[in-house]
């Protein structure tokens, strides 16, 4: 059984870990990555103890982010002028 249910809005983004984090009673942090969320994972684990939480979120919010980045990658590159000598 999960230690707690936590809304994704209550978690903080940690740029260094590239993960959403939430304080664990042991003093460390529960962690879950955007990739995990895009795959439908809802369990954030603490790397220092056996506790875990259930993250409450809308998976579609993270799928849209992934789709946007794919579309951005598919945009044609800007053409640069070429000078001929």
Which domains are delineated in the chain?
Answer: 4-64 (3.10.660.10)
Closest CA relative to residue 35, chosen from 48, 18, 23: 18
Task: Provide the β-strand partners of residue 75.
Answer: none
* Cα–Cα distance for residue pair 73/21, rounded to 1 Å: 28
Q: What is the pTM of this model?
A: 0.72
pLDDT in tens, 36-80: 999 999 999 999 999 999 999 998 888 765 455 554 444 555 555
pLDDT in tens, 4-16: 999 999 999 999 9
* Cα–Cα distance for residue pair 46/84, rounded to 1 Å: 60
């Amino acid at each position: 059984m999960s230690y707690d249910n936590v809304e994704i809005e209550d978690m903080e983004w940690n740029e260094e870990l590239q993960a959403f984090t939430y304080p664990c009673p042991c003093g460390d942090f529960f962690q879950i990555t955007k990739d995990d969320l895009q795959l439908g994972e809802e369990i954030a684990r603490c790397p220092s103890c056996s506790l875990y939480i259930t993250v409450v979120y809308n998976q579609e919010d993270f799928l849209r982010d992934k789709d946007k980045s794919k579309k951005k990658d598919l945009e044609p590159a800007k053409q640069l002028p070429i000078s001929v000598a």
